Amino acid sequence: MIKELINSIDKIEIESADKKYEITKILKKYDGKPVYIKDVNGYKVIGNLCNRETIARSLGIDVNDLMNYMLNAMDNEKNGELIVDNSLKEQYISDDLDKINEYPIPIYYEKDAGPYLTSGVVIVKDKDYGVNASIHRILVKDNHLVIRMVEQRHLHYIYNKNIKDGDVDVAVVIGAHPAVLLAAATSGDITFNELKYASALMKKPLKLVKCDTVDLEVPAGEYIIEGKITSEMDDEGPFVDITGTYDTVRKQPVIKITALKRKKDAIFHALLPGGVEHKILMGLPQEPRMYRGIRNTIPSVKNVALTEGGCCWLHAVVSIEKKTEGDGKNAILAALASHPSLKHVVVVDDDINIYDPNDVEYAIATRAQADRDIIIIKDAKGSSLDPSGDHENKLTAKMGIDATISLKKNRDEFIRAKIPDDE
């Protein structure tokens, strides 16, 4: 599925690159634009694949419709259809387990602990809650993998729930369709089926292939790594997180590899840590959740965007149709409550393009007064990804700017000049 998308989009084509640092340099140079590298140690690599435009294209919709489209798909998640098609097995070749050291898995930055899988969709199964799909960074270390599990995530819960009964079956899918990546990055409750949500996003059944060495059915990506998450721990990190700064070294679970498979002429997906693709996949799934939370308070909310400059995590812009004088400030409070990691939020009128930083800054410059329109909240729970926060107490300061036109003002004074269309 990913090959058809790659063939259909505009992309930068590079003849060859080394997997140590050189892939990073290329992806950094063209950050936000898809890059296809024809030869990395004999393998093909795609990077910067998932920006807003390519995700929308992969779903057959306009980019401005993404947020509402995701909301509708979430509402229909339970109706998503999964089909196990074992004829897909014919598309794969099996590799010896030590072949993973030859795969084009990048070493991205100078202090990285080693090669890292960054785009892998991790599939596990729980007898009570069913299948879970999520994205985690995975260190390739000697003859095994080390997976970073965030304590609040469902994978961590399922692992701890099942590891007392023995190793946990796992599969890592690399080179999945953007709908699968978007779904795997979405936070629902423990019963939320990310693969069915991917099907709802695609508006067609999602085809799965049964694994050979573990009891799992997984999306038919370009590469599939089968294995067992063990109770053994190993050092994971340092590695770069979404802010472009290094995360710390921790003891994390070891994955014992049981099978390596890839499609003939497979394309490896390299996701640049701290790049636009990383930010979009992390932030975009939060926008529908924020929209719903804000809509409960401000029914006239129009759109929500987590901005790239704020790492698609710490900063947001909210568009509303202002009905009463307090709507802007209520939208600020609702936005901060609906995404607890949010640090700064700007609320604007619906004539402002929330995807254009210049337009948002224009709204702040011409419609906000600092003594009246800024809300500051001290000592709130914040994101561990913010290097400026109080990590010991998990606290931060938060700020909202109401950059909407005051209803006490004459709106005509704020209308921007337009050039009439040719008659």
Reference 272, options 96, 112, 102; nearest CA is 112
- Candidate list 167, 169, 241, 373, residue with the active-site label: 241
Residue 41 token pair: 């140690």
Residue 378 token pair: 């001290």
Residue 17 near residue 23, CB atoms below 8 Å: yes
What residues form DSSP beta bridges with 47?
35, 270
Residue 167 token pair: 């190793």
DSSP secondary structure letter of residue 221 = -
CA 72 to chain centre: 19
Residue 80 token pair: 């998503």
- Cα dist from 157 to 129, 188, 419, whole Å: 11, 14, 57
What residues form DSSP beta bridges with 19?
none
Contacts of 122 (CB under 8 A, 6+ apart): 133, 134, 135, 136, 138, 147, 155, 170, 171, 172, 184
Residue 44 token pair: 């093909």
Provide φ and ψ at 116, rounded to 5°: -130, 135
Q: Is 350 a residue of the active site? A: no
**How many residues does the structure list for the chain?**
423
What are the DSSP E strand ranges found in 1-137? Answer: 12-14, 35-40, 43-47, 82-84, 92-95, 116-117, 121-126, 130-135
What residues form DSSP beta bridges with 181?
none
Residue labelled with tokens 């926008």:
287
Q: Catalytic amino acids? A: 241
